[in-house]
Amino acid sequence: MSRRFDRLAVYCGSASPAPHFLELAREVGSTLAQQGIGVVYGGGKVGLMGALAEGALAEGGEVIGVIPEALESHELSNRNCTELHVVPGMHQRKQAFTDLSDGFITLPGGVGTMDELWEAVSWAQLGYHANPVGLLNAFGYYDMLLAFNRKMAETGFVREAHRGIVIAAPTLPELLDKMANFTPATNVLQMRKEDL
């Protein structure tokens, strides 16, 4: 039985690279809103974050921003969000992403986006959550990262039971379908959220 998503955390950055990346983020926000899926994201108003929120809000979607105090104080926060949570730091931001969502989608991004992705994967391995971790490999952006993930598994650094945690697809409809049919991994440990 496939799962239904109420909200998805979408990892993306504040950078404004080539226009096709911004358009991708806008389309992701728009599509999720059209499907009645709320967006939980980093709370910024610039770059891919701003485009994502803009796309969802334009369709009347729920947009929950989670931004650390240090960034909010520099006026980078998006005051148009349905809800805006200001948290003490990055750890609390990632905890809120996990608490508020039913799964994760990673758009093309940089170091901060990778930090969020790998923490979601690590937390899944440890049993902090059993939600799908999606990677939108648009434009082949994550081809090398997926190859590296396979390399980690082939060399034994990722357990066989955890090989399927990262769910990748080149388009959002395909990714959402795979995520809806995701079966959680068998965890080595079953950690509790209170232990984070």
Determine the distance from the C-alpha atom of residue 50 to the mean position of all C-alpha atoms in its chain, rounded to a whole number.
15
* Backbone dihedral angles phi then psi of residue 74, each to the nearest 5 degrees: -90, 15
**130 falls within a domain:** yes
Q: What CATH number has the domain bearing residue 79?
A: 3.40.50.450
**192 falls within a domain:** no
**196 falls within a domain:** no
Alpha helices in 102-171 (DSSP H): 111-126, 143-154
* Mean pLDDT value of segment 35-40: 98
Q: How many domains does the chain have?
A: 1
**27 falls within a domain:** yes
**95 falls within a domain:** no
Domain range for 72: 7-87+100-178
**29 falls within a domain:** yes
Q: Supply the pLDDT for residue 21.
A: 96
Q: For residue 16, name the pLDDT band (cuts at 50, 70, 90).
A: confident
Spatial CA neighbour of 186 closest among 158, 167, 168, 160: 160
Q: Is pLDDT above 80 for 163?
A: yes
**191 falls within a domain:** no
Q: Supply the pLDDT for residue 3.
A: 85
Q: Is pLDDT above 70 for 1?
A: no
**52 falls within a domain:** yes
Q: Supply the pLDDT for residue 190.
A: 59
Q: For residue 75, name the pLDDT band (cuts at 50, 70, 90).
A: low
* Mean pLDDT value of segment 84-111: 95
Q: Is pLDDT above 60 for 196?
A: no
